[in-house]
A = this chain, B = another copy of it.
Amino acid sequence: MSYTLDQLNTAPEPEALQMLAGIYEHSPWIAAAALRQRPFASLAQLKHAMAEVVTRADTDAQLALIRAHPELAGKAAIAQSLTAESAQEQNQAGLTACTPQEFARLHELNAAYNARFGFPFILAVRGPRGTGLQRTQIIAALARRLHQHPDAERAEALRNIHRIAELRLNDKFGFTPALGNMVWDWHEQLARHSEPEFAAQGQLSVTYLSDAHRTCAAELHALMQASGFDAVQLDAVGNVVGRYHGATPGARALLTGSHYDTVRNAGKYDGRLGIFVPIACVRELARAGRRLPFALEVVAFAEEEGQRFAATFLGSSALVGDFDRAWLDQRDAAGITLRDAMQRAGLRIEDIPSLRRDPAQYLGFVEVHIEQGPVLCELNLPLGVVSAINGSVRYLGEFIGEASHAGTTPMNRRRDAACTAAELALYLEQRAAQDGDSVATMGQLGVPQGSVNVVPGRCSFSLDLRAPNDAQRDRLAADVLAQVERIATRRGLQYALQETLRAAAAPSAPAWQRRWEAAVQALGLPVQRLPSGAGHDAMKLHQILPQAMLFVRGENGGISHNPLESTTSDDMELAVRALQQLLANLAAEIST
């Protein structure tokens, strides 16, 4: 028998506290503090409120919370002194059925972990879908986290505790993220298709028009059809486009979607989440037999990652009339031209110009995407609203000083190219931080043929500068370039600097950003605005339509372009709910 949120909101405090007993292991102070914020509009709001109590607590309290947890397959498990919740969780993960070797390995890792961090290893063993990790996954996570920095590891332990609390709360309140689980399973299903050389290593790689890519297109096509779309087609660049008609013929459409291609050795959610979330919404509409006062057009873009050919955003470029025929002569690593690849896949290149969308027929473009960054993860927030896709500019550079004997050249007579680059790197850090939402990175840095006993005569570096709007990016770039000149002059070095990329910022359309904000608020969650540092299909659609994006929290600190990329089915559920909310609000707007 499970509780309702209404019961929690109206119960006297001792009873409410009892309802939340055991959510945070041996730590009733968390529920007590959170309950002062009653009433809660949603479980998501309650979860966030409790996490915030922990975030605001001091380090000692946080460490006490972590230490209140039992070791996985540890002494308490053997002594059968676990809390009921822990016992069930460890049991589900099969930890009580470890082989002797696994027990030994776990014991060894647990001991090393404890010695390093001073607290037990905490992992939400029911995992991101709430259905249980394998013992081998648990051991791998423990081995990986053993090498993290202590601060990072404490934060990760707390995040796992919040995830454990979320799953326990779901149980108590009889909540299952059914839509989220469905979307999760669709990702798993699609991720079965990977290029053979990667599949052989258990890795995901789906680059443009590979066999795996074409299989994915066919599967997305079938899924859209099965989900109740009125019309589904594979277009001339390989996009899978599903249309769910509006209440009236000729109604304008809301365009949404993201890409289904991946980087090499990718995560499963980058791009695809923005396809499956709207499919889930259409599926729910179709099952309910509901029509909106506008059409929904969901595009699974064929290419965004720029992995196989130099050109990128092939799918969304076609929709904005920006597909450059010169790209057709580009060759992949095997020497196959883009033209040949498209022809072999049966795509009709001559039809590409007709893919251009007429803005008059569309309301706008929205895109759901996994954040690919740490912000939401660190704030314990499942959703965030994108304020802008950052503009960027990149440079490759080199400082040219004078190589000299490291032993015989006094400090004040050096022209050290590495120290000069070092000074620039620290300036980048400080200057970008000044803006708050700019980023500046020296991702490449190296002394060519450096010797331990030679003062570096040359040092090469890259600069990647991004800001939420072009003016801010340009001010950042101007300051950085001026600093390059200033540092070089003061130190008596020369330099070379070459701009290699410049991409305009795509600020969210205010009205559409507000619609996402309203949707997030309707779920009981605080609105977190954040810029997107990475590029997205929305950046291309920005050329012809107002656009705004919703970000979904990534687990593991938001790591992306990496098999560790993840989110949870709870967060996926919230993403579906947010898009449903946006559609409902938009329907209301249009009807009135």
Chain A residues in contact with chain B, CB under 8 A?
147, 149, 151-152, 371-375, 378, 390, 392, 394, 396, 402, 404-413, 415-416, 418-419, 421-423, 425-426, 428-429, 432-433, 437-447, 450-456, 459, 462-464, 466, 492-494, 500, 532-535, 557-561
Contact = CB atoms under 8 A, between A and B. Distances in A.
17 contacts: A373-B410, A404-B559, A406-B439, A406-B443, A406-B464, A406-B533, A407-B466, A408-B533, A411-B433, A418-B443, A419-B442, A421-B445, A422-B422, A422-B425, A422-B442, A445-B447, A452-B500
A446 B450 contact: yes
Nearest to A561: B405
B149 A492 contact: yes
Contacts of A421: 422, 445
Contact of A419 (B390, B425, B462, B561): B425
Given A374-B410, A422-B423, A423-B422, A405 B450 contact: no
A440 B414 CA distance: 11
Contacts of A373: 404-405, 407-410
A114 B445 CA distance: 34
A445 B449 CA distance: 10
B441 A412 contact: no
Lowest 10 A-B CB distances belong to which pairs?
A407-B533, A373-B408, A422-B422, A408-B533, A444-B450, A406-B441, A422-B425, A446-B446, A452-B462, A411-B433
Contact of A152 (B453, B492, B558): B492
A464 B450 CA distance: 12
Contacts of A561: 405
Nearest to A147: B494
Main secondary structure of the interface of A (DSSP, over half): mixed
Contacts of A429: 411, 416, 419
Given A405-B533, A532-B408, A560-B405, A453 B443 contact: yes
Looking at A151, A454, A532, the one whose CB has the most chain B CB atoms below 10 A away is A454
Contacts of A463: 452
Contacts of A462: 450, 452
Contacts of A533: 405-409
Contact of A413 (B374, B394, B422, B428): B374
A534 B152 CA distance: 43
A325 B408 CA distance: 31
Given A405-B560, A561-B405, A422 B426 contact: yes
A411 B426 contact: no
Nearest to A562: B403
Contacts of A493: 149
B149 A560 contact: no
